[in-house]
Amino acid sequence: MLVAFWVTTSALGTVVCCILYATQLQWSKRQNLPPGPPRVPLLGNIHQLPQSYQYKFFVQWAERYGDVVYAEFFTRSTIVVSSVKAACDLMEKRSAKFSERPRFVRIREMIGWTGNIGWRPYDDTWKRQRRWFQQLLISASALKSHRPLQEHEVRRLLYDVVQHPADFISHIKRYAASLILEIGYGHTVTSVEGDEFIQLVEAGIHEVFGGSGAGSALVDFFPTLKYIPAWLPGAGFKRAALMAKEAIAATEDIPYKSVKDAMAAGVAKPCFTTAMIQDCLKKGALTFEDEDDIKGTAATLYAGGTDPIVTTITVFVLAMVQHPDVFRKAQEEVIQVVGEERLPEFSDRTSMPYLENVLREVYRWRPAVPTAAPHMSSEDDVYRGYYIPKGSMIIPNLWAMFHDPEVYQEPETFNPERFSGMNVDRYDDPRRIVFGFGRRACPGRYFADNSVWILAASLLATMDVRKARNARGEEIAASPKFHGGTVIRPEPFVCDIHPRSEKSRELILAGKDIVTAQL
């Protein structure tokens, strides 16, 4: 009995010591968390966040606590990263530890938007989708194959601007939507307002993001809330999620079914969806998982591609209106390369370094997505001596990176010349990081950048863009407010946009037959 007692006591003592040691170790680690704002029980720091323009609020944290800030949103550990170096150190150099996504309870589990590669965990399905993007959108051969479409759609936009210059923002939207839907589904867009596919997809995306952004809904912090019945008072989020679920299902199913029907009839145009279907058919009949992956991957193109392209081009036009000296200098460079008889081509890009700097400044000055999609740490880590707990949400604050006065003097000033004397490397080129970091960087980044460049160069080659004037001949200032959300965009503004010469008008109108022809 005595021996048994001592054995039991010794075992219990060992267990207690292990628990105390683990507790002490965990407490010691948490003592080494990155600096950050004081937290309150349960809420953490969530009560401090504003409803909008959170990226600017994070800048205040960075100014006070540094470029790596620790906060807690309810019970979730969060690291806000505000420098390019820290972002690259964590999400690129340590990508094995920082390539996961948070759980995204609302978007993935309630709405069921599981096929979107942006929200997927770092799993085999994500790798399969990434392979498709690599083959069909990222590779040099894929990018080259899309150039005729991009040049064709630019001609359409220029023609539309000549016909209806006041609707230039609508023309930009049609340009971006046409590119994505043609590549994704082989679907040709004639107008934004009357296109069934655009209205369908836009409605689905609005239902998803009409409430909370990715990973920021209350249910993302308290997953058990998803089990609350939709009929209960206060369960409006549940009813909204059910509506969004139906909208996203339609967004994925209807365009996909259209392509499948066209393939069965032998009239389908080659596109992203037909290529993925053919890839899966090499192994036999399509499975449910195959179709789910294909639908989600194709829908990702529109959801992730249109808004950033539209916003970047709109900001480019706004910057040219506000800075006529920059516009003239960029225009002179483009005309010197292409002359009066043709439109810019992709082979001209290396001959236009100043335009390259203008676009760098557009990306930096008003990035379409001010905070990149959050990453998550898949294991404990230590960075600069700071403890980063497993499961922490990592928020890259691109706005802070692009408005750091130590890197960019007078960051609120639009100044392309800042890059002329700068050794633009991985850390200094906004174009290289505006699309995200590491394995989670946007798979459409090169296509999007090419789409922005060819349109910017073509506008400069053929159009004059300046401030509009009122009935008294007075200039109307174009200084719109920027809406702060997942994607920031300027409010509609007016400008005077017209062919810069009669030769330019003739060049644009001469392409009418090309514009109306099918590719």
pLDDT value of position 22: 36
Q: Which residue has the higher pLDDT, 277 or 234?
A: 277
Q: What is the pLDDT of residues 424-465, one digit of tens each?
A: 666 678 998 999 999 999 999 999 999 999 999 999 999 999
The encoded tokens of residue 159 equal 């023609």
Q: What is the pLDDT of residues 408-421, one digit of tens each?
A: 999 999 999 999 87
What DSSP string runs through 310-369?
HHHHHHHHHHHHH-HHHHHHHHHHHHHHH-SSS---GGGGGG-HHHHHHHHHHHHHS-SS
What one-letter code names the amino acid at 444? G
Q: Which residue has the higher pLDDT, 210 or 399?
A: 399
The pTM of this model reads 0.89
Tokens 């082989």 identify what position? 186
pLDDT value of position 231: 81
Query: How many CA atoms are closer than 13 Å to the CA of 320, on its beta-carbon side?
Result: 26
> Of 153-162, 188-197, 240-249, which one has max mean pLDDT?
153-162
Q: What is the pLDDT of residues 288-325, one digit of tens each?
A: 999 999 999 998 888 777 888 999 999 999 999 999 99
Q: What is the pLDDT of residues 79-119, one digit of tens each?
A: 999 999 999 999 999 999 999 999 888 888 888 888 888 88
pLDDT value of position 23: 37
CATH class of 32-115+122-516: mainly alpha
Nearest by Cα to 493 from 315, 370, 328, 309: 315
Q: What is the pLDDT of residues 40-78, one digit of tens each?
A: 998 999 999 888 889 999 999 999 999 999 999 998 999
Residue 11 has pLDDT above 50, yes or no: no
Alpha-carbon gap, residue 343 to 508, rounded angstroms? 9
Nearest by Cα to 237 from 247, 249, 226, 223: 226
Q: Which of 163-167, 173-177, 235-239, 340-344 has the lowest mean pLDDT?
A: 235-239
pLDDT value of position 220: 83
* Element spanning 272, H or E: helix 272-281
Q: Could you say which DSSP state residue 148 is in?
A: H
> Cα torsion at 423, 85, 135, 129 (round to 10°)?
-160
Q: What is the pLDDT of residues 16-37, one digit of tens each?
A: 443 443 334 344 456 799 999 9
Alpha-carbon gap, residue 342 to 155, rounded angstroms? 11
Alpha-carbon gap, residue 406 to 84, rounded angstroms? 12
- Write the Ramachandran bin of 215: left for phi over 0, alpha for psi from -120 to 50, otherwise beta: left
Q: What is the pLDDT of residues 82-91, one digit of tens each?
A: 999 999 999 9
